[in-house]
Amino acid sequence: MRPLEGIKVVTFEHAIAAPFCTRQLADLGARVIKVERPGTGDFARNYDERVSGLASHFVWTNRSKESLTLDVKEPHAVDVVHKLLADADVFVQNLAPGATQRLGLDYGALSTRYPRLIVCDISGYGLDGPMRDKKAYDLLIQSESGFLSITGSEGEPAKAGCSIADIAAGMYGYTNILAALIERGRTGRGRHIDVSMLESMVEWMSYPLYYAIDGQAAPRQTGASHATIFPYGPFMAGDGKTVMLGLQNEREWKAFCESVIGQPQLASDDRFSSNSRRVANREPLAGVILEAFASLSAAQVIGRLDDAGIANARMNDMRGVWNHEQLIARQRWTKVSTPAGEIPALYPPGVAPADEPTMGPVPALGQDTDAILRELGLSDSLIEEMRVAGAV
């Protein structure tokens, strides 16, 4: 039995944040019914065509779900929504601000009618405050949260290469829903969860905020290097390949000087005798390290770092990750079905070996509409009437 078997989730979702949240619930066995707009559906379906004609974002966040098309502006469609919610455990939405209130599907309206229902609203800035109605996309939240101000190189801010603000909000939605399910098991009542992308990203800003407390200077933009620890970041070896390494303490610094670059005298050099001094003198120290690495291949550098007990990694590209020997050895890849055929998928992290995650198909738009409507008691004639009216 999967942990969330028997839990029913209804979701009005698009893009990444809410779909990522609910996909994780589906991975744990919840039944997730994704309500989409007839004809077009979740606009993330059309972001690109990289996965055999399907969108890369969509196939990642929407496996193991059922797709039901409804135009919720039609009366019959609203009736269907309430039939779905009558025995649902969780309702998740990330529609435009105010949309669920206009439909009568906000927590205030739903909690009276369905007191056991857990309602999770995911938005850019939260359900109140002066920026409540402002549009929010991942890159905009990366900027608003201060993330861009410390990322990239000096004078050249860089966004994260994945949708980090959406992912953060999706994770907080997911964990809060799990907590609410535990609470409901004790109290019998649902609860309201209000997750904002901004607050999720500001929480993830962690030490940079405290580093800059009381008006102190923020961490520098240092590319792929660590802003406040050195040496910690990418260094090129003599074969043109990049090695990522990180030192955490003075013991490792001494071992690095002696065993990796063969210059034990540097360990006591006043310029480099503490982390703060190494950070202040990062340019000359980087020159020393690169000169030492110039006669070595990346494999040789990694070998020396491993022997010295110093953390390191390769600078993998996407092909390297698809073929990563650790993921293969741990049998972390499986297959999921899509309307365009099978695709590889990573098993979700943290699932116990005994709990085979769902890993169900990525649904075609509206593929489960008729089956769900019949399950709710609608006749074939009414379903056809709704189809003619454009309600499904």
| Contacts for 392 with CB less than 8 Å, ≥ 6 apart | 38, 68, 69, 70, 71, 77, 366, 369, 373, 383, 386
With the C-alpha atoms ordered 15, 177, 106, 374, is the resulting torsion angle positive or negative? positive
Contact (Cβ atoms closer than 8 angstroms) between residue 173 and residue 186: no
Radius of gyration of the chain (CA): 25
Average pLDDT estimate for 153-175: 95
What number is the average pLDDT over the span 87-116?
96
The answer to whether the beta carbons of residues 371 and 383 sit under 8 Å apart is no
Instruction: Report pLDDT digits (tens) over 20-55.
Output: 999 999 999 999 999 999 999 999 999 999 999 999
**Mean residue pLDDT across the chain:** 95
For 345-363, the DSSP string reads EEPPTT--TTS-----PPP
Assess whether pLDDT exceeds 90 at residue 131: yes
Confidence of residue 83 (pLDDT cuts 50, 70, 90): very high
| pLDDT, position 353 | 62
Quote the tokens at residue 282.
């990062």
Which CATH code, of 3.40.30.10, 3.40.50.720, 3.40.50.10540, 3.30.499.10, is assigned to 8-204+330-389?
3.40.50.10540
- Find the mean pLDDT for residues 311-320: 94
Mean pLDDT of all residues in 91-110: 95
Contact present, 378 and 96 (Cβ < 8 Å)? no
Percentage of the chain lying above the pLDDT 90 cut: 95
Residue with tokens 């050195």: 230
* Tokens found for residue 365: 């738009």
Mean pLDDT of 107-117: 97
Strand 8-12, strand 31-36: pairing = parallel
Helical spans, DSSP H, in the chain: 17-27, 56-61, 75-85, 99-103, 107-113, 138-144, 164-187, 197-204, 206-211, 250-255, 275-280, 282-293, 298-307, 318-322, 325-329, 369-375, 380-389
CATH classification (class only), 232-315 = alpha beta
Sign of CA dihedral 154, 160, 165, 170: negative
> Stretch 102-126: mean pLDDT, rounded?
97
Are 62 and 362 a contacting pair, CB within 8 Å? yes
| pLDDT of 86 over the 70 cut | yes
Give the per-residue SS3 of 8-30.
EEEEECCCCHHHHHHHHHHHCCC
| Pair 127, 121: CB distance under 8 Å | yes
Report pLDDT for 357: 87
pLDDT for 321-375, tens place per residue?
999 999 999 999 999 999 999 999 999 998 766 678 899 999 999 999 999 999 9
First to last CA, the chain: 33
In the 3-class helix/strand/coil scheme, how is 210-265 assigned residue by residue?
HHCHHHCCCCCCECCCCCCCCCEEEEECCCCCEEEEECCCHHHHHHHHHHHCCCHH
Q: Exposed, middle or buried, 103 (CB in 10 Å: 0-12/13-18/19+)?
A: middle
Domain extents for the chain? 8-204+330-389, 232-315
Nearest to 199 by CA among 179, 232, 173: 173
CA distance 267 to 45: 55
Is pLDDT above 80 for 387?
yes
**Inter-CA distances, 269 with 62, 293, 337, Å:** 55, 20, 59
Left if phi > 0, otherwise alpha if psi is -120 to 50, otherwise beta: which for 369?
Answer: alpha
Phi, psi of 179 (to 5 degrees): -65, -40
- 76 band by pLDDT with thresholds 50, 70 and 90: very high
pLDDT value at residue 356: 81
